[in-house]
Amino acid sequence: MTYINSMNQEQTKKDGKVKKQDLENLGFELGADKMKTVPSVKAYKALFGFFYAGDKTAADYAKRVTAQCPGAEVLSFGRKDFPFKGGAPVEKQSHFYVLFKMAK
């Protein structure tokens, strides 16, 4: 959790751009399979892939993001279902997503 707080402070000092390595580290701490930036709303999108969802829901992952990032504001979350395609990236497989902003 300390990394997330330090990243938030460093980001506010700069012009709002985040290094790829910082974004990957944030995704690692959240347990996300992939992290993306969404420049149109100045937010981040965490993707959590699955083959069988079991009893997990997108709300569970949204709670995880708010628990790990105390200043995070969840804008939206949901589930996207796709047919299985071996070797496809996370965006083209079934996944949960959480779109969130970091507080300034």
**Residue 12: what pLDDT?**
44
How distant, in Å, are the alpha carbons of 15, 25, 31, 47, 49 from that of 18?
9, 11, 19, 18, 23
Question: How many independent structural domains does the chain possess?
Answer: 1
Segments forming the whole domain that contains residue 66 = 2-102
Do residues 1 and 7 make contact, with C-beta atoms less than 8 angstroms apart? no
When mean pLDDT is compared over 19-23, 26-30, 75-79, the highest value belongs to: 75-79
- Picking from 63, 64, 96, the residue whose alpha carbon sits closest to that of residue 79 is 96
User: Residue 15 pLDDT > 70, yes or no?
Assistant: no
Q: For 29-42, what is each residue's pLDDT tens digit? A: 898 999 999 999 99
User: Residue 47 pLDDT > 60, yes or no?
Assistant: yes
